[in-house]
Amino acid sequence: MFRAFGAPDAVAQALRLKAIARARGLTLLIGADARLAAQVGADGVHLPERLAHRARAMRRPGWLVTSAAHSLTAARRAGAAGCDAAVVSAVFPSASPSAGQAIGPLRVALLARRAGLPVYALGGINDRTARRLKDAGLVGLAAVEGLRRERS
């Protein structure tokens, strides 16, 4: 997911990310900007929890529309608003400034089973922590740190 935050080179950045995503077989969502997503041919949009109610207005044919969710209630609201999936965070402790308190693998598994829509996990996901989510009932994982190469 790419959040442009009004960057003047947002289109160029998004196109670079799209090329990387395609090469790796990944899905590229643009954060809360349907116009940018359409312009670069992204796979859809990701909405902050507070904008989940706009899911139907953001939809385009073939797009995936997801919403952040930090609770079971928020995940259920996302489903009722027409989101295809919820991205639940933070599952594990994360260095992200927007990450809340980690809910852990057991609570995310319970949430995934009760949410009423597909759930992705985000927050502190890497090769080690991802293994702990194998049987959590998730449809996938979202990662930031886990996608970065370790520097030697």
Judged against a pLDDT cut of 90, whether residue 144 lies above it is answered with: no
Using CA atoms, how far apart are residues 127 and 39, in angstroms rounded to an integer?
33
CB 30 within 8 A of CB 4: yes
Tokens coding 41: 């041919």
Domains in the chain, please, with CATH? Answer: 10-147 (3.20.20.70)
Band (148; pLDDT cuts 50, 70, 90): low
Q: Which carries the bigger pLDDT value, residue 92 or residue 127?
A: 92
* Radius of gyration for the chain, computed over Cα atoms and rounded to the nearest angstrom: 15
Band (28; pLDDT cuts 50, 70, 90): very high
Rounded to the nearest 10 degrees, what angle do helices 104-114 and 72-80 cross at?
30
Band (94; pLDDT cuts 50, 70, 90): confident
What tens digit of pLDDT does each residue of 33-90 get?
A: 999 999 999 999 999 999 999 999 999 999 999 999 999 999 999 999 999 999 999 9
- pTM for the predicted model, two decimal places: 0.89
Band (115; pLDDT cuts 50, 70, 90): very high
Q: Which residue has the tokens 């790419």?
A: 2
CB 66 within 8 A of CB 72: no
Output the pLDDT for position 5. Answer: 86
Helix (H, G, I), strand (E, B) or coil at 104: helix
Using CA atoms, how far apart are residues 7 and 24, in angstroms rounded to an integer?
25
For the segment 129-133, the average pLDDT, to the nearest whole number, is 94
Sheet strand arrangement including 119-121: 29-31, 44-47, 64-69, 85-88, 119-121, 140-141
Judged against a pLDDT cut of 50, whether residue 130 lies above it is answered with: yes
Angle at 98 between CA 93 and CA 103, to 5 degrees: 35
